[in-house]
Structures are given as C-alpha cells and as structure tokens.
Amino acid sequence: MQDYTTLSTLEEIRAISFFSTSLSSKETIDEILWDITRNVIHRLGFIDCVIYTYDNETCLLTQHAAYGVKNPFDKRIHNQIKLELGEGIVGSVAMSKSAEIINDTSKDPRYIVDDASRLSEICVPIIINDTLFGIIDSEHPQKAFFTEKHLHLLNIIAALCAQRIKALHLKTKKNFTKANQYFKKLEELMRFKKLYRNPNLSLNSVSEALGISACYLSSMVNSLLNKSFIDFINEYRIADVKQNLNSDRYAHYTIVSLGLEAGFNSKSAFYSAFKKHTGLTPLQYKNDCCLLS
C-alpha cells in the first residue's frame, strides 16, 4: 500500500473521484458511512477509521461505522463508545466544528484511549447546512503521522459525505406529504390523546404506537416540519404550559409544576426548552401576558 504522503496531485484527484463515484451509489446513511471508513483505509493507507454520528436529542456522539481493529467482522463495532460534546478530541472537534491534527496525543489531555493507545490522531467534522452531523476520526501509532494532505482530503471526503446525505434527505422528503397516514395519526395522538404529557415519551415508544420504525418516524417529522422529534414534542408541551399559565384552573400550580404536568421530566429541561422556543423564561412570558390582559 502506497504511503499517501508520496501521492501525486493526479493520484489525489483519482482518490477524490473514487470517493465521489462510490458515495453516489449509496442509498442509506449506513451504507455511506461504512463505505467511507473502509475506503479511507484502503485509499489513504490509514490503519483505522471511525465515524461518529451526533444525536441532537441526546447530545451524544456515537460510533456508527468503523474499519480496522474496531471492526472485527461484518458491521460490528468492538467496544462501541459514546461521547458528550466537548469530551475527548472527538468531542472538542464536534463542539468547535473545526478539523484538527494531533501530532502527539500523549501531550494532549483531551485524548481518550479507545481500543488501544495511539500517538497521533486526525479528526474532521461532517457538517450539513451548518449543523453537525458527525465526525470522521482516525488514529495512528506513529507520532506526527497525519499531514495537511490528509486533512485536505478528509475535509473533501466529509463534504462529499454531507452532500450525499443531503441528497438522500431531499429524496426522502419527496416521499412524505402531510396526507401521510402516519403523520395524521401522530397529530391525533398529540392533540387528542395528549401523548406528549408522558414524561417518559421517546422516539421508540411513539414509533411503536404508530407501527413504524423509529428511523421512519424521525425522517417523517424532519422532512415534513424541518425539526427534530424532540422539538416537535416540546412544542406541544410548551403550548400546553402557555395555555395554563394564566388559567384559573391551574392557579394553585407553580410554574415548574405546569411544566412537569405538560410532560417535561425536569425543571432544567422545561426551562431550557421554553427559552429555546419562546425566547423568554416561563415567568417572563407569564408577566408579559398579564401586562397585555
């Protein structure tokens, strides 16, 4: 296998062309990510490659695809780990959305040992519409192994990945309409059954109630409403709180109690979501309503 640092400009162009062609034939995010991890190793001479995906609801980065020691067989990941934003080098890059090369991980306090301790690391974010989708990460036992050429090519690969995922989202969006029977049922569950009031409500529990997969439900909400599932649920909860803040029926409730009654499972989750969706705290909103009445 040829060392990437010796590749000519023509060979770099060929590598980019290969990735572009390979990704264009992939029809699922899973296929895209596994294809990248496998071909990054084969084309660039790396010894491992791991792609993390970011979950906006849990705020966690999870190892989604891997190749090398982390992938002993099939599409299995050995010792699959999850990281919070800011945790480790991967979490730091996810937070900053800026790629990094670490020439000596032994001198970087952020470094977290995964399957084995290695001395250099390269970490590149995958950004879609200015939003973090995931991270391409690779480590090597040799210090200062990764070069600016590696960084340049991985940035291009990340952009190609983002472009293909966007294309898949647009394709999926065309398949959804508001006449969708599952979307109608979802709205019925929220409006009439007030399912959002369940503090333990989750993507999985709602998808089971609808008889569809969690992935389908998430895609449906995102495609039709351009928002995440948790934002969709929280909008119903906040509307519930707004309605009850100045209601005589709930006059004996504290503001926090109204949030918990609406389905939020903690004071912090309630206040954070309310401020995000209204730009005000619940008390500020209540006081504003009193001034207008």
pLDDT in tens, 51-79: 999 988 788 999 999 988 777 677 778 88
How far is it, in rounded angstroms, from Cα 94 to Cα 132?
Answer: 7
Give the three-class secondary structure for 103.
Answer: coil
CA-angle at 228, arms to 181 and 78, nearest 5°: 105
CA distances from 278 to 116, 235, 262, 275, 281 (A): 46, 10, 16, 5, 8
Nearest to 156 by CA among 281, 40, 42: 40
Mean pLDDT of the chain: 86
Tell me what pLDDT residue 1 has: 42
Give the three-class secondary structure for 134.
Answer: strand
Helix H or strand E segment including 52: strand 49-55
Tell me what pLDDT residue 44 has: 84
pLDDT, tens digit only, all 293 positions of the chain:
445 445 567 777 777 788 888 887 888 888 899 989 988 888 888 999 999 999 887 889 999 999 887 776 777 788 888 999 999 999 999 999 999 999 999 999 999 998 889 999 999 999 998 899 999 999 999 999 999 989 999 999 999 999 988 887 766 665 666 547 888 899 999 999 999 999 999 999 999 999 888 888 888 888 788 788 999 999 999 999 998 988 888 889 999 999 999 999 999 999 999 998 888 899 888 887 765 55
Under 8 Å CB-to-CB from 262, ≥6 apart: which residues? 196, 197, 237, 238, 240, 241, 244, 270
Query: What are the tens digits of pLDDT across the range 183-218?
Result: 889 999 999 999 999 999 999 999 999 988 888 888
Tell me what pLDDT residue 255 has: 93
Nearest to 30 by CA among 38, 42, 19, 40: 38
Q: How many CB atoms lie within 10 A of CB 180?
A: 14
